[in-house]
Amino acid sequence: MQRPVPRPPGRGLAHGVPAVLSVASAFVLWEIYVRASGISPLVLPAPSRVLGQIVENRALLWDNTVPTLRATFAGFALSLTVAFSLSVALDFMPRLRRTLFPIFVVSQTLPLVAIAPLVVLWFGFDMTPKILLVALVTFFPMLVALVDGYDATDPEIENLMRAMGASRMQVFRVARFPSAMPYFFAGLRISITYAVVAAIFAEYVGARAGLGIVILNAKNSFRSDLVLAAVVISSLLTLALFAGTALLQRYVLRWRDVEDGR
Amino acid sequence: MSFLSLHDVDLSLGGTRILDAISLHVDKGEFVSILGPSGAGKSTIFRLLTGAVPLQGGTITCAGQPLHGQEASFAFMPQRDALLPWRRIIDNLTLGLEVQGIPRKDARARVTPLLADFGLEAFSTHYPAQLSGGMRQRAALLRTVVQGRAVQLLDEPFGALDALTRLQMQAWFEDRWRTSRWTTLLVTHDVREAVALSDRIYVLSPRPARVIAEMSVPLPRPRLGRPPCAAAHAIEAQLLETLLQQTGN
């Protein structure tokens, strides 16, 4: 009768092993190639050398990671606010959806390479252009996910609630919004992987500090090893954010884990 | 004067005639079934009563008052349980009260004493997916009756269950009904179910639905959980024949 909630111990850990192994072996092959071929470290530095650069320049990297992270979080917060507000507006006003959706799609066709310098030109070298560019790049997957998620609500649940005398607002809050959560997290996972890259790109185009500036300066002085050191930090940031959303998802959608356990 | 009565109710949706001069009534504490072939428009009568579809022709009165739009007289139980999968059972059970604006604490206080009767005591903090089909249906019924509405509208409440669970649920339901005597309108296409549970049965024709027969079931209760008597068989046979004549077989 009662179904316990099974969660195999260490399942997450066991899943991670092949991934770690494949990444590690890629680095080992890279290291072997660089040593065996004698290729110049200006062209292709070995992973060990990149790691050495991270340790050596840790103060520089840390000082420039902070502004990048700040731009990422601020941009993402804006993006989340805009995506959620718009999704609610579109859900309550279907006509607005037909009017505005094409504009959002067009916003996603703009090449970042062209738009980023313009945004910097308009808003200067401060945080504003970075925040705007991060938001521009990340809001769309979340908006689409939310709007589709609302529509995926079980019609029988909505009928039931209307028969109970629920208002449109109550139906949204109790049924449509929670129904959209699995979709929202799918969109969030896509968005979050764009966020750091967008912030770095915005810095690259014009900023006072940030990982993008580190990369720009290192490239201009032919320091491939330092470029890659900053790249490693950027990847780690994205991985950490991705892991954070996965944890949040597991908490918010904990009722689904129960269902899976049947 | 009956508690709930429909008089000459007509309805067309999208140019299709669904209901054709439907007249029926339910007395207080009475269990009435609407029996008809699939797609006849049985559920549409419920949609009229809950205000999902506006009344086009005829009159509906409930407790002596004409029905208009959004009514607070009916509690509706859909065929599938429609439990919210992300809410624990207790929070699903209070849904109707929550919609009425009753604070969560008071809503829980009204639901909790009923959990035992519905066999859900040990499961109030479970998610719906952790419950069997029969338990989920019991939860859906409790969610319906706890709203404290005058009339319970049950739309094929056992239709989605497997045959064995359905029999168990019908017997359990009859038992609950005998102690509570909810005024109930049941929609079903299951002749045996209608005969086992009802005081009276209306038989509808295929679309556009008309009332083609009305039949009392003057059998002693409880009827389930014991071998069915000859009188029940006779009523079932008569109903089946009426239905089969209509569908032209």
Which residue stretches of A93-176 are H helix? 94-107, 112-123, 127-151, 155-163, 168-171
Chain B residues with CB under 8 Å of A160 CB are 76, 78, 82
Quickly count helices (H) and strands (E) in chain B.
Answer: 8, 10
Q: For residue A156, give the nearest of B51, B82, B96 by CB distance.
A: B82
What ipTM is given for this predicted complex?
0.87
B59-62's contacts with Cβ under 8 Å and 24+ in sequence apart are B59/B6, B59/B7, B59/B8, B59/B9, B60/B4, B60/B5, B60/B6, B60/B7, B60/B9, B61/B4, B61/B5, B61/B7, B62/B3, B62/B4, B62/B150, B62/B151
In a domain? residue A209: yes
Mutate to test the interface with B, among A1, A2, A157, A164 (most CBs of B within 10 A): A164
Instruction: Give the range of the structural domain holding residue A242, as residue numbers without chain letter.
Output: 58-260
Q: Do B76 and A163 touch (CB under 8 A)?
A: yes
Is residue A39 included in any domain, yes or no? no
Substitution target in B130, B142, B145 with the highest count of A β-carbons within 10 Å is B130
Q: Is the pLDDT of residue A16 over 70?
A: yes
Give the residue from A3, A160, A169, A254 with the most B CB atoms within 10 Å of its CB, the best one to mutate.
Answer: A160
Report whether the peptide linkage leading into residue A94 is cis, meaning its omega lies within 30 degrees of zero: no
B4: phi then psi, degrees, rounded to nearest 5: -120, 130
Are the beta carbons of B135 and A163 separated by less than 8 Å?
no
A170 interaction partners in chain B (CB closer than 8 Å): 99
- Judge whether A188 lies within some domain: yes
With cut-offs at 50, 70 and 90, classify the pLDDT of residue B118.
confident
**Residue A161 · residue A170 · CB < 8 Å:** yes
Q: What is the pLDDT of residue B98?
A: 94
Which residue is closest to A181 within chain B, CA to CA? Answer: B86
Q: For residue A261, with 0-12 CB atoms within 10 Å meaning exposed, 13-18 middle and 19 or more buried, which class applies?
A: middle
Domain with CATH 3.40.50.300 in chain B: 4-73+151-247
Percent of chain B with pLDDT over 90: 49
pLDDT digits (tens, 9 = 90+) for A129-186: 999 999 999 999 999 999 999 999 999 999 999 989 899 999 999 999 999 999 999 9
CA of B85, closest CA in chain A: separation in Å? Answer: 7
Judge whether residue A194 has pLDDT over 90: yes
Q: Is residue A31 part of a domain?
A: no
Tell me the per-residue pLDDT of A111-135, one tens digit each, with 9 for 90 and over: 888 999 999 999 988 899 999 999 9
Name residue, tokens 């739009």.
Answer: B69
pLDDT (tens digit, 9 = 90+) per residue, B80-102? 899 999 999 999 999 999 999 99
User: How many domains, chain A?
Assistant: 1
Find out whether B223 and B196 touch, Cβ atoms under 8 Å.
yes
**Architecture category of domain B4-73+151-247 in CATH:** 3-Layer(aba) Sandwich (3.40)
- CATH number, domain containing residue A149: 1.10.3720.10
Closest partner CB to B84 (pick from A157, A165, A256): A157
Other C-beta atoms closer than 10 Å to the C-beta of B241 total 10
Tell me whether A152 touches chain B (CB under 8 Å). Answer: no
